[in-house]
Amino acid sequence: MSSLPRFWPAKRAYYGWAIVIASFMASFGEVPVFGPILGLFIQPMEDELGWSRKTIALGFFVGSVTGQFSSIIVGRLVDRYGSRVVVTIAGVFITVALLGLSTVNEPWQFWALFGLGRGSALAGVEIGTSVAVAKWFYRKRGRALAVKGIGQRGGQAILPVLIFAVMSASDWRTAYVALAGLAAITIVIPAALLLRRQPEDVGLAIDGTPPPGTATSRSSSGDNEVSFTLAQARRTKAFWLVGFFMVGTPFVMGGTNLHMVANFQDRGLSDALAVSMLSVFASVSSLSILPVGLLLERIHIRFGAMIMSALVFVAMLIISVADTLAGALLFAVVFGVAAGMRNLVETMLIADYFGREALGSIKGFMAPLRVVSPVGPVYAGAVRDSTGEYTIAFLTFAAMLVGMVVLLMFASPPRLEEARDKVTPSSTLETPDSE
């Protein structure tokens, strides 16, 4: 049995909230390798290095694909050993990658370094922190994940202003050096000091409720939460429908996140106003996450995912025509609420459908299904390079969202008994990790 940190001051509080704090900090620190922040670097890098937007978006693609395939291994490691080592090492890789990005002069250097940073964020920080929080909370899972999500969206709201200030005083290379220091402080240190695998390892119960053995439900605690093994989950229709639904969210939202600032610059907004739209979007997202988390504790996550998809659909229609400040603000608000929901929906869909015991392995196994998702940002960049605008890309995204809602309509929550019935004698020979 592992121990809790002796220096943790809130001895009477449930230690799960320390997990949430560390996850909040790590989610803040990983923001520089996400699309909205990379979008701030597109124009200065384009001006200095002469790269096309598709070339820059390819770095995003490399990082996303690296993260998807690495997640297979990382998810199993998180289930077996916990998130502490995984997130700490990922933070070190992100710090090194951001430092390296300040020195790039060739596309391959950018692709390799941004790929390392983004892949570490997706496979290490994202899976590590989301699984950690979900394993410590059941009844309060929505609000706990919401607090973690505020870290990421808060970073997207605050960092653009700071980055813009650094770029104005120096250049984009100096901004990457500053972001490397931020990653070391906010990811590596909190993860190493605070993260622990699950409450049972330290003699606690999920949600901080009385010891295991009491009859439970979502309204009391999660001791009786039904959990699927990876093998059982794979034998359900819902697993594949949810998996393919989750292909669409990064395809659409990743492409939009990366190009939204450049899109508004193309449409005539000043650099300062275009950057401010990113801050508005992220601020709305951050402010909406906690109310959304409380809502998702009261409605089925399937319906929450449908609402999120509908909001993104509306946002795509708005951004495809918005060429005024008012239109840009409307987009930022609608897309911000939807992005806040995404922080919760993707983890809660898997946790609520399949339980927490094999959550890392299930998330990791699903990740490669999303290998086509990073094409979204590259596709949007290619559309802009060939047509001079992003309109066709945004309308394509809107059409995809209709298909995503249809998938959810058929994704009824699975029953464990049905999955057990489908297990054949040969399937029981799978390795313990996959079980």
In a domain, 161, yes or no: yes
Q: Is residue 292 part of a domain?
A: yes
What CATH number does the domain containing 273 carry? 1.20.1250.20
pLDDT, one tens digit per residue, over 108-151 is: 999 999 999 999 998 899 989 988 998 898 888 888 988 898 88
Residue 211 belongs to some domain of the structure: no
Q: Report yes or no: 229 and 434 within 8 Å, Cβ to Cβ.
A: yes
Give the range of the structural domain holding residue 319, as residue numbers without chain letter. Answer: 16-200+218-420
> Does pTM top 0.85 for this prediction?
no
Q: What is the dihedral of CA 231, 361, 363, 299, to 10 degrees?
A: 70
The answer as to whether 169 is a domain residue is yes
CA distance 94 to 103: 15
- What's the number of domains the chain is made of? 1
Other C-beta atoms within 10 Å of 32: how many? 29
Q: Within a domain: residue 208?
A: no
Burial 161-197 (b: 16+ CB within 10 A, else e): eebbebbeeeebbebbbbbbebbbebbbbbbbebbbb
Q: Do 3 and 9 meet the contact criterion of CB atoms below 8 Å apart?
A: no
In-domain check, residue 426: no
Q: Do 309 and 254 form a contact (C-beta atoms < 8 A)?
A: no
Q: In tens digits, what is the pLDDT along the chain, a chain of 435 residues?
A: 567 777 777 777 899 999 999 999 999 999 999 877 888 898 899 899 998 888 888 888 888 888 878 888 888 888 888 899 999 999 999 999 999 999 999 999 999 999 999 999 988 999 899 889 988 988 888 889 888 988 888 888 888 888 989 998 999 999 999 999 999 999 999 999 999 888 888 888 888 765 444 433 344 444 456 788 888 888 899 999 998 898 888 889 888 888 888 899 888 888 888 888 888 888 888 888 888 888 888 888 899 999 999 999 999 999 999 988 999 999 999 999 998 888 788 878 888 888 877 888 888 888 777 767 778 888 898 899 899 999 999 999 999 999 999 999 998 888 766 555 554 444 433 333 332
Residue 142 domain-assigned?
yes
Give me 59's structure tokens.
Answer: 């770095």
Is the residue at 209 inside a domain? no
DSSP string, 289-353: HHHHHHHHTTS-HHHHHHHHHHHHHHHHHHHTT--SHHHHHHHHHHHHHHHHHHHHHHHHHHHHH
Task: State the chain's mean pLDDT as an integer.
Answer: 84
